[in-house]
Amino acid sequence: MRSMTLLTVLILVGAGTASGQRTAQEIIDHVDRIMRGESSRGVATMDVVTENWERSMTMEVWSLGTEYSLIRITAPKKEEGTATLMADDEIWNYLPRVDRTIKIPASMMMGAWMGSHFTNDDLVKESRLIEDYDIEVSHDGDREGVRVWELTLTPKEEAAVVWGRIEYQVRQNDWMPTWARYYDEDGALVRTMSFSDYRQMGGRLVPAVMELIPEDKPEERTLVRYTELEFDIDIDENFFSLRALRSGGR
């Protein structure tokens, strides 16, 4: 996807205050940076609603830059200990019930992660938006009484990306994203990510709730809500190992 991912969408740093004229690249660069952080740890719940079933999970998440991340499911009991490791564009899953570590092959990258509307591919994208996309401001003004920027991102010719176009809306007063829309190569809307519940966590302003809705199944959704976030924690690359995958970072 080469854009906002399950992990980077939540690994946030504090936003600045808009002042004066900003370029499209500056706005998206800022948004892209607030979705990263040098290192972080968080606790989140994920609620998945599909046509046939619903499920809720609690997970602990660690991240280092854009190349390393570890997710460990802590609830419900039947999923406890299930973990996903992303390191250097590769993904590994650990299944504690069978005590097995599995590397995710390229053929399964578009498969759903833990039954959610996020894919395995969403977990491994590391390049920055301003490097992969040409960006322009499509709207600079009020939307429902709020000053916003709306930006259109079109992939550069050499960029290896999934999306044919991405659109963002960003609040001007605090640089917080409000939604992101993802389109396929034919220009059809595929899914929408909405942001809400802006609050101070880990000493920084973040959207604590993210909701992903597929366009072809609007009654379905995956909602992620962070309950804990801390930044600039003391971890290095050695933390993100297959051993840590099995132990969930413990």
DSSP-derived 3-state class of residue 249: coil
DSSP letters for 2-62: -S--TTTTT---------S---HHHHHHHHHHHTT-SEEEEEEEEEEE-SS-EEEEEEEEE
Quote the tokens at residue 199: 């609050």
18: closest CA among 137, 135, 127?
A: 137
Written as six digits, the tokens of 202 are 């880990």
Listing DSSP states for 174-235 in one string gives T--EEEEEEE-TTS-EEEEEEEEEEEEETTEEEEEEEEEEETT-TT-EEEEEEEEEEES-S-
Q: Which residues pair with 90 in a beta bridge?
A: 87
Residue pointed to by tokens 């808009």: 18
How far apart (Å, rounded) are the C-alpha atoms in residues 59 and 81?
A: 10
Distance CA 96, CA 247 (A): 10
Mean pLDDT, each 10-residue run in order, the chain (250 residues)? 44 36 82 73 96 96 86 95 89 94 86 90 67 93 96 92 92 95 96 95 89 97 94 92 79
In the block, residue with structure tokens 């190349």: 67
How many structural domains are present in the chain? Answer: 1
Task: Tokens for 90, please give them.
Answer: 């590769």
- Is 125 within 8 Å of 1 (Cβ atoms)? yes
Decide if 15 is inside a domain: no
Task: Please give the pLDDT value at position 247.
Answer: 80
Q: Is residue 51 part of a domain?
A: yes
pLDDT of residue 16: 35
Predicted local distance difference test score (pLDDT) of residue 17? 34
CA distances from 136 to 24, 124, 196 (A): 5, 26, 24
Cα angle: 165, vertex 134, 6; to 5 degrees: 55
Residues 60/72, Cβ–Cβ less than 8 Å:
yes
pTM: 0.85
Task: Decide if 208 is inside a domain.
Answer: yes
Structural domain includes residue 17: no
- Residue 34 inside a domain? The answer is yes
For Cα atoms 20, 23, 26, give the angle at the middle one, nearest 5 degrees: 100
pLDDT of amino acid 9: 46
Length in residues, the chain: 250
Query: What's the domain range around 173?
Result: 24-247
User: Does some domain include residue 19?
Assistant: no
CATH code for the domain in which residue 181 is found: 2.50.20.10
Whether residue 50 lies inside any domain: the answer is yes
Is 236 a member of any domain?
yes
Q: Which amino acid is at 150?
A: E
CB environment 44-76: b (16+ within 10 A), e (fewer): bbbebbbeeeeeebbbbbbbbebebbbbbbbee
